[in-house]
Structure 1
């Protein structure tokens, strides 16, 4: 039996798509806040209160607010258009972020920081899902045309961009907070949100057409009603636990050993592994299904995270952190890949925001618990949080993996990130 597989279009061809750069560049600036917000809050509040627990709690509340509101923003973007959601959102985020900075520097009580954290997190623009929705509108299948082969490449490119964001954002925020001023990271995050978000919203030509209002014969389908999406939400909670647990625990570890400036380097190594794995995953022509890759990625991630709490050496922690980062991208990319086959196009932005919100929620829970553990029992115990999150997510995946199978799955061979691309089998 011979299998014929044509070459998948590359990143260069994708980036030559007319109109792509008009939303990619402002989108890249505007999606940085997602990676900068948590660590920016942690470093600022820890500096003003002296407590990792308080810092983690404020950051967690912002993350929970983001996770709860993001899917509703996705629904509104699908219904009324991205611009209608972005314009008020970025203005609110800049104002509430500025209020949080002012309150923290004024040594305001913790309840006041909580009050400012809620709108700050709730108004974070969901640029990544919006960019994915634009690619889908430009390249995806319609009643008049089949999906472009570039759709799979676009999905890979977006995942790599997400990974690069998680490399760059925390490193920039940490460098600004430790080298310039404790509030510089959060101020820069708010400025990038405002400028990048407004520029992104101005790109009307590539904005997906809002869906029509629901009718009796054409009701809207919520992404959350799809069982596979609910399983992926749990899986992405585990990924968020890794991000949040690593951010707080690495910060506490470097502070504990007397070298706080090394936090950015260690987290950068962890995130660089994530990005490198994302690039490779997007370039490889995979023959295994994304469901299988998701489970395998989580098994590897759980194994790597299991040793973090026992490492007390900077070089060893850097090396293990790199391995943990290498295991995240395959899980993230596989999860985002599955959305295309599980969710109808009219609910795609909402589905992407549920997954993004799940990462934020997992991150919020992780920074809270890891902060409390670091305060009470030392930095090393905070590394138990990524392990716990991945174990729970892996157990859910193993128990419910059948729900990740598309209803209309045919006999196709998965390639790269676009598993729906059929190949000829002789």
Structure 2
């Protein structure tokens, strides 16, 4: 049953870089919640915690595509090895500032440093898969695996951060992310055999931003709307559980949401789908929107968890298909940048959805937050249908864009100039 996964993981170096990527991605699910858990304990303000987290997310959203662009030009190890060391120092700075009850400005400074340098590890790992695999079916399986691992990180990370922060020390939830980004980053980036080589454009080849592609623009907009769904769902679920007197259960309900997505991601990668990628992406967005629109009619946490579990099955396939479309809309020398852009759009959307739902909850309670979820879903559907002609026209039937040999010179990783 799991043969497709065994086959892709059997490729030389695949298991090593994929597992290292899981460790290096832990901060993406732990830093935010760890700050929210630690700051109120020391500074007595959830508002301050939210501001620091927002700064971290915004800075990361701006910096990640820029770092990815540098990776495409100079190589993963050359750019991200020093960047991840700086990110680790930034997280350590947050820990020290909170532990010593320093002026909040120092916590903000650590958040800026970490957010600006941590980049998008998921984009690095997916770029490696696209480099070592040539068969579109195998790439589909690998991308499905990575989406399932993303969900695994989001199931485990917040739980571990919460346990550490409440059982060991307020800042303990940040200890593991600091170690993970340093150790996991080193384990991933030291594997040079699977690192995509730098692709140099030859004279006369077209340049410009990856967002010059109409397909990338619409994908970015749709991913932002989908991210808004996720951000609004998180806030609304916590508010809903709080209204029912079971605030602690919110984490379990959200974990069930991620569990459904993880299982669907694993199942989705087992099959080689024949229908066009753009069509599967559109169907996934519509299915996700329909599922989350039911949240605001539920009346109990068990029912919400059940609806979330089923709806979660639409998440990973949609993300997999969206990432797959990126390979059709950008050149090989812009792949890491393209993947980082859609990931950044998702993160920006989460921030927007969280803020909008928070305001709605203050005014109307959890019901208002779930209405924001439904509104975000409507925006995602409308954006997808408006974008269908662009997605259909720009998608390469073979599932991959032109190879490097079509327009560029490949520079080996061992080249000092890479």
Q: TM-score, normalised by structure 1?
A: 0.84
1:36 aligns with 2:33: no
Spell out the pairing of 1:9-408 with structure 2 (5 A cutoff): 10-48=4-42, 52-105=46-99, 113-140=107-134, 147=135, 150-212=138-200, 214=201, 216-375=203-362, 377-407=364-394
Identify the residue that residue 144 of structure 1 maps to in structure 2. none
1:114–1:162 CA distance, 2 compared to 1 (3 A)? same
Number of residue pairs matched?
401
Aligned with 1:88: secondary structure? helix
Asked whether the equivalents of residues 342 and 406 of structure 1 are also in contact (C-alpha less than 8 Å), the reply is no
1:84–1:20 CA distance, 2 compared to 1 (3 A)? same
1:149–1:394 CA distance, 2 compared to 1 (3 A)? closer
Aligned with 1:297: secondary structure? helix
1:403–1:45 CA distance, 2 compared to 1 (3 A)? farther
1:249–1:133 CA distance, 2 compared to 1 (3 A)? same
Moved more, 271-280 or 53-62: 53-62
Q: Distance in 2 between the 1:195 and 1:20 partners? A: 18
The Cα shift of 1:370 comes to 3.2
Q: Distance in 1 between the 2:245 and 2:169 partners? A: 19
1:324–1:345 CA distance, 2 compared to 1 (3 A)? same
Aligned with 2:199: secondary structure? coil
1:108–1:356 CA distance, 2 compared to 1 (3 A)? same
Q: Distance in 1 between the 2:7 and 2:179 partners? A: 32
The Cα shift of 1:223 comes to 1.5
Asked whether the equivalents of residues 27 and 196 of structure 1 are also in contact (C-alpha less than 8 Å), the reply is yes
Asked whether the equivalents of residues 68 and 119 of structure 2 are also in contact (C-alpha less than 8 Å), the reply is no
Asked whether the equivalents of residues 238 and 392 of structure 1 are also in contact (C-alpha less than 8 Å), the reply is yes
Q: Distance in 2 between the 1:236 and 1:408 partners? A: 17
Asked whether the equivalents of residues 219 and 342 of structure 2 are also in contact (C-alpha less than 8 Å), the reply is yes
Deviations 1:265-314 (A, max 9, x none): 12211110111111222123433322222222222222222232444422
Aligned with 1:211: secondary structure? strand
Q: Distance in 1 between the 2:253 and 2:2 partners? A: 35
Aligned with 1:405: secondary structure? helix
Asked whether the equivalents of residues 221 and 347 of structure 1 are also in contact (C-alpha less than 8 Å), the reply is no
The Cα shift of 1:226 comes to 0.8
Asked whether the equivalents of residues 9 and 150 of structure 1 are also in contact (C-alpha less than 8 Å), the reply is no
1:68–1:168 CA distance, 2 compared to 1 (3 A)? same
Deviations 1:307-347 (A, max 9, x none): 32444422122112223322212211111111122221111
Deviations 1:160-206 (A, max 9, x none): 22232232223333333344444322222222111111121111221
Give structure 2 stretches of 5+ with no counterpart: 402-418
Asked whether the equivalents of residues 60 and 365 of structure 1 are also in contact (C-alpha less than 8 Å), the reply is no
Q: Distance in 1 between the 2:371 and 2:44 partners? A: 22
The Cα shift of 1:377 comes to 4.7
Q: Distance in 2 between the 1:73 and 1:19 partners? A: 24
Give structure 1 stretches of 5+ with no counterpart: 1-6, 141-146, 413-417, 421-426
1:387–1:350 CA distance, 2 compared to 1 (3 A)? same
Aligned with 1:283: secondary structure? coil
1:57–1:373 CA distance, 2 compared to 1 (3 A)? farther
Task: Pick the structure with more helix per residue.
Answer: 2
Deviations 1:371-396 (A, max 9, x none): 44445554443333433322222211
Deviations 1:190-237 (A, max 9, x none): 22111111121111221111222x554234343211111111111111
Asked whether the equivalents of residues 58 and 113 of structure 1 are also in contact (C-alpha less than 8 Å), the reply is yes
Q: TM-score, normalised by structure 2?
A: 0.86
Q: Distance in 1 between the 2:395 and 2:254 partners? A: 41
